[in-house]
């Protein structure tokens, strides 16, 4: 059982390689009746696209999405939605070397072991960050589904190279894409940029933390014991290259708190049950509570760096030094932000369908939808 299928009620299938013809996705289980155009997907792809600013790789990809199926008269049909993006600016010549001299921090060596060397190693193949294009395509549709029930999913850069976003409001979060590092704290944004530029100049790279905020979630999303909302989200995050850690609410800080301090008291607010604090990060018992979902995702520094590095030559079994060529992001975090949003949205929309919050046929059907058809049921044969 290979691992290219994700989700249950809403399933994303990823295909394609970094230097192959396309990167593609099939999204299955999308309710019928959702207005959907290529533009609904393109905007999020554009946010992920390389070559947009000085903090990203210089690889240039138009990343134009084409919808191949599942949409009719501008709306989803209930059938699977296939989407592809063509690969254009491909320079594969570098990669022959890395097949024998694996790049530190990359999957080269273990991919070769697992697939017997048959894997498409050009540009990292299936293990390239470029594969996140398939996540973004699926996630953009998931986001549209979530909007139907008022859920808002926002990821943003919380920290890069030790610089932390500290002063910001919800409005700043909503404006996160205004700066190229996608952080809600404008002052921190400048410093983060500097840190990234410095790393680039040294032929090095930096990591960071992405925080996710999901607002207005219905309570009860998540299926205990094993398909918890945190578990499904964490699994989704680790599908994104370079992720090293995931935490919710208080996260690792919880380990140093007292129970009396950590437990969020129930209170009445505006006549409704609410919480006085949000150490739980919006999830208890594996289910959303209705409080804002707060997740943080740690990214390691980009593995591809210009500096010389130690590795081995698998032909001679000697230790050697390589310089990783190619065009790379000195910090992957800004471009990871829309990817984190996409994967988060896929998980939440999947659970919202599973829990019945999003119906299988949306409103506005030509017939008014199932059950309202004038034809009725042929029950009396």
Task: Return the residues of window 42-81 that contact a second copy according to CB under 8 A.
Answer: 68-70, 72, 75-81
DSSP letter for each residue of 6-36: E-SSSEEEEEE-TTSSEEEEEEE-PPBT-B-
Give CA 68 to chain center in angstroms.
22
- Cα–Cα dist 378/372, whole Å: 14
Among the listed residues 147, 235, 325, 327, the single contact to a second copy using CB under 8 A: 235
Which residue, 39 or 225, has its beta carbon nearer to a second copy?
225
Task: Tell whether residue 95 is a contact of a second copy (CB under 8 A).
Answer: no
Q: Dihedral of CA 187/243/28/221: which sign?
A: negative
Task: Tell whether residue 345 is a contact of a second copy (CB under 8 A).
Answer: no
Q: Pairing relation of β-strands 152-160 and 163-164? A: antiparallel
- Cα–Cα dist 51/59, whole Å: 6
Q: Pairing relation of β-strands 208-215 and 152-160? A: antiparallel
Q: Name the segment binding a second copy (CB under 8 A); options: 47-55, 101-109, 169-177, 183-191.
A: 101-109
Q: Name the segment binding a second copy (CB under 8 A); options: 165-173, 174-182, 184-192, 233-241.
A: 233-241
Which residue, 44 or 291, has its beta carbon nearer to a second copy?
291
Which residue, 91 or 267, has its beta carbon nearer to a second copy?
267
Among the listed residues 185, 230, 326, 345, the single contact to a second copy using CB under 8 A: 230
Give CA 140 to chain center in angstroms.
10
| x-or-dash string of contact with a second copy, 281-300, rule CB under 8 A | x--xxxxxxxxx-----xxx
8 Å CB contact between 350 and 129:
no
- Cα–Cα dist 337/346, whole Å: 14
Q: Pairing relation of β-strands 81-86 and 22-28? A: antiparallel
Site for a second copy in 132-191 (CB under 8 A): 134, 159-162
8 Å CB contact between 191 and 163:
yes
Task: Tell whether residue 238 is a contact of a second copy (CB under 8 A).
Answer: yes
Task: Tell whether residue 237 is a contact of a second copy (CB under 8 A).
Answer: yes
Which residue, 140 or 210, has its beta carbon nearer to a second copy?
210
Among the listed residues 131, 140, 143, 212, the single contact to a second copy using CB under 8 A: 131
Task: Tell whether residue 111 is a contact of a second copy (CB under 8 A).
Answer: yes
């Amino acid at each position: 059982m290979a691992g290219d299928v994700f989700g249950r009620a809403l399933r994303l299938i990823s295909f394609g390689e970094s230097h192959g013809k396309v990167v593609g996705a099939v999204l299955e289980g999308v309710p019928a009746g959702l207005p959907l155009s290529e533009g609904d997907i393109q905007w999020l792809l554009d946010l992920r696209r390389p070559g947009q600013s000085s903090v990203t790789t210089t690889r240039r990809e138009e990343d134009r999405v084409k919808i191949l199926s599942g949409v009719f008269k501008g709306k989803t049909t209930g059938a699977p939605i296939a989407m592809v993006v063509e690969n254009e600016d491909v320079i594969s010549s570098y990669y022959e070397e890395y097949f024998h001299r694996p790049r530190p921090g990359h999957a080269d060596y273990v991919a070769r072991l697992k697939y017997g060397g048959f894997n498409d190693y050009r540009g990292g193949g299936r293990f390239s960050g470029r594969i996140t294009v398939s996540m973004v395509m699926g996630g953009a549709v998931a986001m549209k589904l979530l909007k139907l029930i008022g859920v808002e999913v926002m990821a943003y850069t919380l920290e890069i190279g030790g610089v932390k976003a500290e002063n910001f409001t919800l409005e700043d979060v909503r404006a996160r894409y205004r700066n190229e590092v996608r952080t809600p704290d404008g002052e921190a944004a400048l410093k983060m940029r500097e840190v990234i530029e410095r790393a680039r100049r040294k032929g090095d790279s930096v990591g960071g933390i992405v925080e996710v905020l999901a607002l207005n979630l219905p309570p009860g999303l998540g299926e205990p014991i094993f398909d918890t909302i945190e578990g499904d989200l964490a699994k989704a995050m680790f599908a994104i290259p370079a992720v090293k850690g995931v935490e919710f609410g208080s996260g690792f800080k919880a380990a140093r708190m007292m129970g009396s301090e950590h437990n969020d008291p129930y209170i009445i607010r505006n006549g409704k049950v609410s919480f006085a604090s949000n150490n739980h990060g919006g999830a208890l018992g594996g289910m959303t509570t209705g409080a804002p979902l707060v997740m943080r995702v740690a990214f390691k520094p980009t593995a591809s760096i210009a500096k010389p590095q130690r590795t081995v030559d698998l032909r001679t079994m000697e230790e050697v030094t390589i310089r990783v060529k190619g065009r790379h992001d000195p910090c992957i975090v800004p471009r990871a932000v829309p990817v984190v949003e996409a994967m988060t949205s896929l998980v939440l929309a999947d659970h919202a369908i599973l829990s019945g919050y999003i119906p299988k046929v949306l409103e506005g059907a030509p017939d008014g939808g199932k059950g309202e058809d004038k034809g009725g049921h042929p029950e009396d044969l």
